[in-house]
Amino acid sequence: MSVPASNRRVTYTLATLRRGVWQTSGTIDSLDSALARARETLGTGKVERVRVEQCFTDPGAKRAVMTTVFEEAGAAPPRFEVNAWMLLGISVLLGIAAFLITGFLLQGPGS
């Protein structure tokens, strides 16, 4: 006896890659909504990759099939960059440290 077609279900899962770890964001019933949300997530610049997977489930046959229907790379992960303000701050701290150490050394052990 065959299972009624109403028990079969197609859903879409949105997965994002951040810092080398894949995370699923949830289940969406419409392909158009899933693709729009994937492109919106890519537009934020906070993810490395985004993937939309189609999941066909048939409870009667106890079977599920996952297929990737969309995958795209986003912005490269942010790199640590040294700017002028950081260099200025480091040089000021080094100057203060040099001043304190010189003062300590000039006092000598007898003073």
Centre a 10 Å sphere on the Cβ of residue 98 and count the other Cβ atoms it contains.
Answer: 10
Sequence-ordered strand ranges (E) for 29-104: 49-58, 63-73
pLDDT-derived band at 9 (thresholds 50, 70, 90) equals confident
pTM over 0.75: no
Q: What is the mean pLDDT of the chain?
A: 86
Give the CA radius of gyration of the chain.
Answer: 28
Q: Domain segments of the chain: what residues?
A: 5-73, 80-111
8, 61 contact by CB (below 8 A)? no
pLDDT in tens, 77-110: 667 788 899 999 999 999 999 999 998 888 876 6
pLDDT in tens, 44-79: 888 889 999 999 988 888 888 999 999 999 877 667
- Count of residues in the chain: 111
- d(Cα 10, Cα 61) in Å, to the nearest integer? 15
pLDDT of residue 2: 53
